Amino acid sequence: MKKVLIITYYWPPAGGSGVQRWVKFAKYLRDFGWEPVIFTVESTDYPIIDNSIGLDLPDGIEVIKSKIVEPYQLYNFFSGKKKGQKIDANFLSEGKKLNWKDKIAVWIRGNIFIPDAKFLWIGPSVRYLLNYLKENHINAVISTGPPHSCHLIAQKVCKKTNIPWIVDYRDPWTQIDYFDELMLTSWAKKRHIKLEKKVLDDCSHIITVGNSMADDIRKQTDTKVTVITNGYDEADRNINIINPRSDKFVLSYLGVMNVSRDPEVLWQTLKKLKLTQNEVYNKIEINLIGQVEEYSQKNIVKYGLEEKVKLFGYLAHKDAIVYQNSSDALLLVINKTKNNKTILTGKIFEYIASGKPIICIGPKNGDAAAILSSLDNTYIIDYQNTEEMEKAIISLINNRLTTAIFSKNVEQYSRKTLTSKLADVLNGL
């Protein structure tokens, strides 16, 4: 069986969407003639821990690790965080006003930690892998980012060994929505752009999660790009619901909620229903499953919805799926950022696989809307359109589904089908 080395920073026990993509690929690669070998970090302090992710990986998958020096102690010093306090890698998206300590930390992040805060892992990893490859045959290498330091590790290893190399862009690099907030000097900005361009040009093939991101990448390089979206695992459909059907209509949101993913149009609509259609309002229950940032918590209080909204915090993935499959409808919020048309979150496919109606707040001409609009029982609502939100809620309550409805064309997003596409790319190298 051919072997593929997968270079990833995120691996169990790490939690969150970033780890799920490659755990699921690794789960099914053997079915298509490829044996995955995972290279990841040893003893790092992941922001989210989820021991349930990866439990269904097949036995015997080789996982090799090297130590990493995390420079966030320097960030802690400038930002005033306590020793040992975990850092959210997306701190720029939390919607908090930056004080002078935060600004210094952001400047360091953008101008010294290039391409990201994992840059000190590059050199030791290259040396480790070159020694490993002296005694172990590998047919292909895949690097997945962010962190984009993974790509620089693969670049240096493959340059020395001439092994074919696939780059996986889960999220953009210089096109990411907060890139311009990193307080970059002209030198640092050019450095980021140059590194990204070299990665895209040097690799053998690029895969990414959506069509718009693929189009952006094609403007930067002549290297072939293939879209392999995120998806759902068929096993998740078999997770039972937790409660018998009640008189409440449960709308659930899964994931991080912050300033760019705050569903203010929903809060406004619920307040309006509370004042004008109290009978409808009383039937609704909102579940927020995941980290809810301060901005959104304040909005819930601002609109007087504390008794209506339940905050569950972060749950293990398998437990979150239980709540997802027990809901009457699911809420999806596309980041309210300049690149929102390109955003295609992993949870959209798990939502689709649940067979539940979906309310999506976001651009109607984006990648997410293009997929959802082809399915039944989905509503695409602009960030400020309370009239459409009200109609959607009332329609869903009045036509409440008794069973989940699975769309006919959803199978193309199953993790096993997507892994077959990855295997096709590998075979084509």
Q: What is the pLDDT of residues 372-418, one digit of tens each?
A: 988 888 999 999 999 999 999 999 999 988 777 777 778 899 999 99
Rounded to an integer, the average pLDDT of 321-339 is 92
Would you state the pLDDT for residue 242?
A: 57
Q: What angle do CA 193, 370, 331 make, to 5 degrees?
A: 95
Tokens of 29: 């690669």
> For residues 396 and 271, what is the distance between their CA atoms, to the nearest angstrom?
18
Q: Considering the chain, what is the average pLDDT of its residues? A: 89
Rounded to an integer, the average pLDDT of 154-179 is 92
Same fold, 2-70+112-231+414-427 and 236-409: yes
Q: Are the CB atoms for 222 and 340 separated by under 8 Å? A: no
Would you state the pLDDT for residue 95?
A: 47
Domain ranges of the chain: 2-70+112-231+414-427, 236-409
pLDDT in tens, 215-265: 999 999 999 999 999 999 887 766 655 555 578 999 999 999 999 999 999
Rounded to an integer, the average pLDDT of 149-164 is 98
Considering only CA atoms, which of 135, 202, 194, 132 is closest in space to residue 164?
202
Rounded to an integer, the average pLDDT of 111-140 is 94
> For residues 169 and 305, what is the distance between their CA atoms, to the nearest angstrom?
38
SS3 93: helix
Which of the two residues, 301 and 43, has the higher pLDDT score? Answer: 301
Which of the two residues, 340 and 8, has the higher pLDDT score? Answer: 8
Q: Are the CB atoms for 253 and 216 separated by under 8 Å? A: no
Would you state the pLDDT for residue 94?
A: 45
Confidence of residue 311 (pLDDT cuts 50, 70, 90): very high
pLDDT in tens, 89-113: 444 444 456 677 777 778 887 888 8
* pTM for this entry: 0.87
Would you state the pLDDT for residue 87?
A: 45
Residue 271 pLDDT > 70: yes
Residue 190 pLDDT > 80: yes
Backbone φ and ψ for 276, nearest 5 degrees, come out as: -115, -30
Residue 344 pLDDT > 80: yes
Q: Which residues of 246-256 are buried (b: 16+ CB within 10 A; e: fewer)?
A: eeebbbbbbbb
| H helical segments located in 42-148 | 72-79, 100-111, 122-135
At the topology level, CATH places domain 2-70+112-231+414-427 in Rossmann fold (3.40.50)
CATH number of 236-409: 3.40.50.2000
Would you state the pLDDT for residue 32?
A: 98
Helix (H) or strand (E) holding 208: strand 205-208
pLDDT in tens, 345-375: 889 999 998 889 999 999 999 999 999 988 8
> For residues 423 and 429, what is the distance between their CA atoms, to the nearest angstrom?
10
Would you state the pLDDT for residue 245?
A: 58
Would you state the pLDDT for residue 374?
A: 84
- Helices 294-302 and 264-276 cross at an angle (nearest 10°) of 20
417: number of Cβ within 10 Å: 14
